[in-house]
Structure 1
Amino acid sequence: MSYLTAALYGALIVYLGGWYMDKWVGNFSLLLFILSFVTFFYWLAERFHFRPRREAAARRLEEQDAARRADLASKGIKQVDGNLEEARVRLLMQPWWLDWTAGLFPVIIVVFLLRSFLFEPFKIPSGSMIPTLEVGDLILVNKFHYGIRLPVLNTKIIANNDPKRGDVVVFHYPVDPRIDYIKRVVGLPGDEISYANHELKLNGQVVAHTPAGDGYDEERMRYMNILREKLGDVEHRIQHEKGPGQLFRPITVFPYQKNCTYSAEGVTCKVPDGHYFVMGDNRDNSQDSRYWGFVPDENLVGRAFFIWMNFSNLGRFGPFQ
């Protein structure tokens, strides 16, 4: 078993190393599921096989020691060498391969359940949500807000709230579901979304926004227009570049692409049933539904709601809109 455990740890190191070096895209949910299953197998083996064997060996040692001492006592020898307790502790001690498998099962299963059904940490990898979220923000995602889903499969088994306009959501990127994205919900099923020359329209009405000064985008090294925008009941900040708006073209063929019309002025889309139109708050530096289409409901991971750390800016802490 020690060789099998060493091989499993070797495979884990190779997988994590390749993931870290961008050789492949990792799936942390699947990894936690496999680790939970494997450590549970070791835990069962320890509980019902290996530990009883060690305890039986310790009892035999005690019985043998007692018999030996009784035999020596019958011969008048009362001083007997040997440290029974030390030998007993050594017999009961878990070998390293059980300590690092069965011993980790309670921790891994708690992390797996918390991450799968309650809250999942997420790190902001890009500037697409500036000024709401900055690169390096560590946030929490509410996994049950939009319903309870099976881990790994992401199949909804218990419905809860539906996404609302203005929600910041984490979802599996429709172009490559192995990657998680974070954007803001702009359009719900049935909505018509139009974006042209920095102006967002929802069902033909301009979305309310007011100027909120200028901001410097370090990633693009230029000053940006900051505005306060209201989507539904959510008021939040957005930014876009000064000057005319940019042109939009799809970067891939996507489902329901016929629902979108691209022109020199901008893009207009009708959101299909069971899908959502999402955009980044950094409107001129975000690849979102304007480029790759709609987010299916089954791709939703959860609602982002809290910044708990940013190692580059320790003052960033608390809820956000």
Structure 2
Amino acid sequence: MNWKIWKKKNDHKKKKTKTREWVDAIVFAVVAATIIRVFFIEAYTIPSGSMEKSLLIGDFLFVSKVNYGARIPMTPLAFPFAHHTMPLTGTKAYWDGIQWKYHRLPGLSEIKRNDVVVFNLPVGDTVALENQEPSYYNLIRQSDWKTVNSQYTITSRPVDKRENIIKRCIGIPGDVVSMKSGIMSINGKIDPLKNTGQMPYKIKLTTGNVNFEVFSNLGFKVSEMQQLDGETYLANATSEMIQKLKPLDFVKSVELYVESPSTNDGDLFPLDPKRKWNVDNFGPVKIPAKGWTVKIDSNTMPLYYRAIRTYEGNKVEQKAGAWYINDKVATNYTFKMNYYWMMGDNRHNSTDSRYWGFVPEDHVVGKALFIWMSFDSEGSFLHKIRWGRLFRGIH
């Protein structure tokens, strides 16, 4: 009797080859890892010292996409695990032929003051192309709140493909931020720098013959201390380090080293000649909130021009002393998004909202959670790993 007639056709299906099994496994792993990276958690490396001593160069972090709600990719077609550039070829790792509007899934909380946030760089990734003209950022520095000359062709990376950077959220939507003599104020109340934040201090010693190992033991980077004269040094330090330094017998005086209120840096936000601000003295500035309506005039437009035009996608022009938004005379404007004021903890070694202003909500990537690995490039072979920083939470 031919028993084969009882077998189902599926029984004759060929068994997967080892190659096919490996391909299926790799595809599944890539898809699963991409979903986790986009919607749940992503690794990030600290590239600069702008957040010292909260975060150090060589810290490896996990950034949560869940806390503030995962951002739906605005550039959906991209090479897995590459941000904006292919690692070997240096070519684009995405195709911007398809662009989705900004949407974000519900999150566990809103961004709070003092949260450490990863976001896309608001400026510096945009280029003005006209016979190899300089970067758009330089063009913006010259006339950010004026009409950009129509001869330039503006091109840029999509928002979600711009550089990721990390700072501390100092102000949330609706806050009024200002700084005087290096001290921040939020809504008129002083907001002291956290113990892990650094400011420059001028340190006068009683003698030039000092064992600088004492400074090193207190946490100072001796190699970065600047000697102003025989017994006077300029150094970055936390308030806690300064409190330990002051009682030492060879220390004559210690004072905060900040810019005078009369000093005009000239290249700070909002690039307005009428506002003579510097890194230690600026404001007050009100941070836009979704639904907030601002009166449009010569005083407010330097502050909000970029947000209205670049971030919210409006055509903005000034004609015969009047402002036009989308070809209509405008005396006020209602914001469509929330904005934030971000600053580095290492205040004199950070390019942040003092330089480029507000961070729109659609630029926010996620909240920094904890350090999972930390390497010290200057450490000896046996001390490359900073064991004390592993799995430390970020506050």
| Partners of 2:184 and 2:191 within 8 A in 1 | yes
Structure 1 equivalent of residue 257 of structure 2: 243
Q: Kindly provide the amino acid, as one letter, of the partner of residue 220 in structure 2.
A: Y
Structure of higher RCO (CA pairs closer than 8 Å, 6+ residues apart):
2
Partners of 2:195 and 2:71 in 1: CA distance: 40
Change (3 A) 1:305 1:103: closer
Which sections of structure 2, spanning at least 5 residues, go unmatched? 1-8, 76-101, 126-158, 197-214, 227-234, 241-254, 290-337, 377-385
Partners of 2:350 and 2:367 in 1: CA distance: 19
Structure 1 equivalent of residue 38 of structure 2: 116
Q: Kindly provide the amino acid, as one letter, of the partner of residue 224 in structure 1.
A: N
Partners of 2:194 and 2:374 in 1: CA distance: 28
Q: Which stretch of the first structure deviates more once superposed, 146-155 or 180-189?
A: 146-155
Q: What is the TM-score with the length of structure 2 in the denominator?
A: 0.49
Cα deviation for residue 129 of structure 1 reads: 0.3
Change (3 A) 1:137 1:108: same
Change (3 A) 1:56 1:218: farther
Change (3 A) 1:146 1:304: same
Cα deviation for residue 217 of structure 1 reads: 3.8
State how 1:22-41 maps to structure 2 within 5 Å: none
Q: Kindly provide the amino acid, as one letter, of the partner of residue 111 in structure 1.
A: A
Change (3 A) 1:173 1:144: same
Structure 2 equivalent of residue 225 of structure 1: 237
Structure 2 equivalent of residue 284 of structure 1: 348
* Equivalenced residues, count: 219
| Partners of 2:119 and 2:166 within 8 A in 1 | yes
Partners of 2:27 and 2:170 in 1: CA distance: 41
| Partners of 2:269 and 2:353 within 8 A in 1 | no
Change (3 A) 1:179 1:100: farther
Greater C-alpha Rg: 1
Cα deviation for residue 159 of structure 1 reads: 4.6
Partners of 2:38 and 2:387 in 1: CA distance: 27
Cα deviation for residue 104 of structure 1 reads: 0.8
Cα deviation for residue 116 of structure 1 reads: 1.1
SS of the residue 1:114 aligns to: helix
| Partners of 1:224 and 1:242 within 8 A in 2 | no
Structure 1 equivalent of residue 220 of structure 2: 216
Partners of 2:238 and 2:37 in 1: CA distance: 34
SS of the residue 1:284 aligns to: helix
| Partners of 1:215 and 1:224 within 8 A in 2 | no
Q: Kindly provide the amino acid, as one letter, of the partner of residue 288 in structure 1.
A: D
Structure 2 equivalent of residue 266 of structure 1: 281
Q: What is the TM-score with the length of structure 1 in the denominator?
A: 0.59
Cα RMSD of the aligned pairs, angstroms, is 3.3
Partners of 1:252 and 1:263 in 2: CA distance: 8
Q: Kindly provide the amino acid, as one letter, of the partner of residue 314 in structure 1.
A: W
Structure 2 equivalent of residue 310 of structure 1: 374
Partners of 2:29 and 2:362 in 1: CA distance: 29
Partners of 1:108 and 1:152 in 2: CA distance: 20
Task: Indicate the structure with greater helix content.
Answer: 1
SS of the residue 1:309 aligns to: strand
| Partners of 1:250 and 1:292 within 8 A in 2 | no
Structure 1 equivalent of residue 394 of structure 2: 320
SS of the residue 1:106 aligns to: helix
Change (3 A) 1:57 1:121: closer
Cα deviation for residue 314 of structure 1 reads: 3.1
Change (3 A) 1:211 1:315: closer
| Partners of 2:46 and 2:56 within 8 A in 1 | yes
| Partners of 2:193 and 2:345 within 8 A in 1 | no
Structure 2 equivalent of residue 299 of structure 1: 363
Change (3 A) 1:294 1:211: closer
| Partners of 2:268 and 2:277 within 8 A in 1 | no
Partners of 2:195 and 2:388 in 1: CA distance: 25
Change (3 A) 1:126 1:209: closer
Select 1:93's aligned residue among 7, 10, 17: 17
* Cα deviation 1:214-258 (Å, max 9, x = unaligned): 642468445323137xxxxxxxxxxxx9522376444677xxx77
Partners of 2:367 and 2:346 in 1: CA distance: 19
Cα deviation for residue 56 of structure 1 reads: 5.4
